[in-house]
Amino acid sequence: SQTIHQWPATLVQPVGSPLSLECTVEGTSNPNLYWYRQAAGRGLQLLFYSVGIGQISSEVPQNLSASRPQDRQFILSSKKLLLSDSGFYLCAWSVTLYNEQFFGPGTRLTVL
Amino acid sequence: QKEVEQNSGPLSVPEGAIASLNCTYSDRGSQSFFWYRQYSGKSPELIMSIYSNGDKEDGRFTAQLNKASQYVSLLIRDSQPSDSATYLCALLLTGANNLFFGTGTRLTVIP
């Protein structure tokens, strides 16, 4: 069966510091991978998605970036965090872009 | 206009009752619809997928899709306190390559 991991689970970072969140998927090959952010009391906002190694599509302009160095690894990064980057970051995977998505446990980021 | 609309609630039902959650959407060409459950502080969990008009049942859950009226519903029979969560509606828009999510309806089942 497929499993999706995210770490760290929680993170508190000062404004202006860098960020690196990691997501890995087990039990499947060539998954589509997604990064979402869920701000407090708000819906899910798609940040990036990837259909393969090195292929990244960005949905919203921001100071975040994503990379996919391996088939089942997806990384979300920032060089300098903003207060507005606080939120619940969720990684998800799907078989194709047109199927249901399955979410990882998430990383709760607080920027102070 | 938002692609996906849900009543934010909260919706409160007594234990054992039927909870009815609704979602409307604006794109008539939407083809795939999903319901997720999200407990407080946790990530969304897929509970139902529906692709064609009509009802789809899975245990205590029934998803209903009406493309002509552009709504999708989730019924939870014999509601339990453990069903208390936020329920997210999601759909795949025509020509899009990712899901669009509603903001969710918070359900509370009262023992």
Per DSSP, the residues of B54-88 read: EEEEETTEEEEEETTTTEEEEEESS--GGG-EEEE
Q: What is the pLDDT of residue B98?
A: 77
Q: Tell me chain A's radius of gyration from C-alpha atoms.
A: 13
Taking only the tens place, the pLDDT of each residue in B39-72 is 999 999 999 999 999 999 999 999 999 999 999 9
Q: Cβ of A34 and B98 within 8 Å?
A: yes
Q: Is the four-CA dihedral A44, A48, A53, A55 of positive or negative sign?
A: positive
- Whether residues A106 and B43 touch (CB distance < 8 A) is answered with yes
Nearest neighbour of A100 by CB, restricted to B41, B42, B49: B49
Give the mean pLDDT of A31-39.
94
Closest-CA distance of chain B to residue A44, Å: 6
Say what the pLDDT of residue A70 is: 96
CB-CB under 8 Å, B32 with A99: yes
Dist CA A33 CA A62 (whole Å) = 19
Contacts of B44 in chain A (CB under 8 A): 44, 90, 103
- The tokens describing A60, both together, are 């919203």
Select the residue of A49, A100, A104 nearest B34 (Cβ to Cβ): A100
| Phi and psi torsions of B81, nearest 5° | -55, -30
Cβ-based neighbour number of residue A70 at 10 Å: 11
Say how far apart CA A75 and CA B47 lie, in whole Å.
27
Average pLDDT of chain A, as a whole number: 93
Q: Which of B3, B93, B99 best probes binding to A when mutated, by most A CB atoms within 10 angstroms?
A: B99
Instruction: Answer whether A5's CB lies under 8 Å from A46's CB.
Output: no
Residue with tokens 């014999």: B78
CA–CA separation, A78 and A90 (whole Å): 16
CA atoms in the 13 A half-sphere facing the CB of A107: 26
Task: List the single residue in B44, B90, B97 with the smallest CB-CB distance to A97.
Answer: B97
- What's the confidence (pLDDT) of residue A98? 78
Residue B7 has pLDDT above 80, yes or no: yes
Q: How far apart are CA A98 and CA B32, in angstroms?
A: 8
Cα–Cα–Cα angle for A13, A16, A22, nearest 5°? 50
The answer on pLDDT for A41 being more than 80 is no
Contact A46 B46 (CB under 8 A): no
- H or E stretch covering B47: strand B45-50
pLDDT reported for residue A43: 83
Give the contacts of A112 (CB within 8 A, at least 6 positions apart): A12, A13, A14, A15, A83
Query: Where residue B2 falls among pLDDT bands split at 50, 70, 90?
Result: low
**Taking Cα atoms as reference points, which of A110, A99, A82 lies closest to residue A28?**
A99
